[in-house]
A = this chain, B = another copy of it.
């Protein structure tokens, strides 16, 4: 089923590449050709930078976790499509966040979608982990990844709750897992037995 994995990767790559790129469509050219027009772009631009970073990190970790899958079974297939669904909402929440200038409800929706993406990644990682239940080297790695994933989820949930009272603090929280996931752990990137 190698070809199964590679087509799943190619499809996911396509969807993630388009998600990243259509967010740029929200960056409309300023109406005036002066500094004022450029500065008005700032909140939308900053929300784009945050979302680009988060999506890029998901791509890297998705790449890494699928590289560890033994085959594409129904559970992997559907947890992967579930992840892509929630990621596909990122352009919407990013646009709302930027256009509203980080108002409470849009920020909560932004953090909420980030929470659901994190949870979906948790399920995908778990689905792949089940394929290697008897591989102790993988399980040690899997536990380590699960812990990191769990911390990120807790931060996203806090960010969602926090958004309604302090949107700026919520966005700082949203950026934390990005920093934490900045680099996949060296071991997992190489893969334990590939």
Give the chain B neighbours of A59 by CB distance below 8 A: 11
Protomer copies: 4
Give the chain B neighbours of A35 by CB distance below 8 A: 105
A19 to B14, CA, bound (A): 11
Contact B38–A109 (Cβ < 8 Å): yes
- A52 (CB) vs chain B CBs: closest residue: B85
Q: How far is the CB of A27 from chain B (nearest CB, A)?
A: 5
Contact B89–A33 (Cβ < 8 Å): no
Question: Looking at chain A's contact residues, is the secondary structure mostly helix, strand, loop, or mixed?
Answer: helix
Size bin of chain A's contact surface: 35 or more
30 A-B contacts (beta carbon < 8 Å):
A3-B6, A3-B67, A7-B9, A10-B10, A11-B13, A11-B16, A11-B17, A11-B63, A13-B14, A15-B20, A17-B18, A18-B18, A19-B24, A20-B88, A21-B88, A22-B24, A25-B25, A25-B91, A26-B29, A27-B91, A29-B99, A33-B104, A35-B105, A38-B109, A52-B88, A56-B84, A56-B85, A60-B81, A74-B183, A74-B189
